[in-house]
Structure 1
């Protein structure tokens, strides 16, 4: 059965983006051997991706400017947005608006036998929690203190999490898995 998983990196004080909405401070950690191996294993089980409009817009801009490569290959990518957004050449994109619950079955079906990666941002992940559709949080915690910014699930979200495991990926980077529910 397809699971909806939110894999996200955060500072040790719980922020996924700085006060300007920038998450580039996470990039140096993504190429560390333990982090890369863990992410590659996670991504191998992903069949579809869902992204919020602001997060997608930042990714699409960085791809267009040559700062990033499109990281999702040929996997179907669903973008929740209220605005017209640019496309990424060669990407399998579906732009949607509306309630998460309304689209969740189509998104899950597009994942085939894989899981769905809820990329973010925080408001989208929080929306999945509020809709009772997020199955797992995979939290990569890095040794950075931001002091302010976007927190993991956005504002006004509460959830009960059950710890599944924590692993040291080296270089003071930890990954923890939580069941959401």
Structure 2
């Protein structure tokens, strides 16, 4: 059965982006061998991707400028947005708006036998929690204190989590998996 999973990197004080809403501070940690190995294993299980409009626009700009490669391969990518956004060649993009619950069946169906990766932003992940669709939170916690920024869910979310596991990825980096109750 398809599972909706929010896999995200965060500082020890719970921020996924710094005060200027930039997440590039995480890039060096993402390249650490333990983090990269775990992420690659996770990504193999992904059948579809959900992303917010702002996050997609940032990625699309970097891809268009040649500073980044499209990281989602040929997986279907669903973009929640209220704006017209550019498409990228050779990508399977669907731009949507509306209620998360309304689209969840179509998104799950597009994942085939795989899971759905909620990439972000935080508000999109928070919306999936509020709609009671998010099944699992996977957080890579790195030894950085940002002091301010965008929290994991980007808004005041209240939900119960149950710890599934904690894995030491090396270099004082830990991966925590939680089921969302």
Q: Identify whether the pair has TM-score above 0.5, normalized to the shorter chain.
A: yes
The match for 2:143 is: 143
CA distance in 1, matches of 2:40, 2:96: 27
Write out per-residue CA displacement over residues 1-59 of structure 1, whole angstroms, 9 at most, x where no aligned residue. Answer: 00000000001100000111100000001111100000000000000000011111111
The match for 1:176 is: 176
Matched, 1:134 2:134: yes
Gap regions ≥5 residues in structure 1: none
The match for 1:15 is: 15
Deviation at 1:180, TM superposition (A): 0.3
Write out per-residue CA displacement over residues 79-118 of structure 1, whole angstroms, 9 at most, x where no aligned residue. Answer: 0000000111111000000000000000000000000000
The match for 1:58 is: 58
Q: Secondary structure at the match of 2:60?
A: helix
Q: Secondary structure at the match of 2:123?
A: helix
Gap regions ≥5 residues in structure 2: none
Q: Secondary structure at the match of 2:68?
A: coil
Q: Secondary structure at the match of 1:162?
A: strand
CA distance in 2, matches of 1:48, 1:155: 24
CA distance in 1, matches of 2:106, 2:168: 35
CA distance in 1, matches of 2:161, 2:67: 35
CA distance in 2, matches of 1:31, 1:78: 26
Q: How many pairs align?
A: 181
Q: Secondary structure at the match of 1:74?
A: coil
CA distance in 2, matches of 1:67, 1:18: 20
Alignment root-mean-square deviation, CA: 0.6
Q: Secondary structure at the match of 1:72?
A: coil
Deviation at 1:166, TM superposition (A): 0.3
Matched, 1:35 2:43: no
TM-score for both structures, normalised by structure 1: 0.99
CA distance in 2, matches of 1:108, 1:154: 23
Q: Secondary structure at the match of 2:84?
A: coil
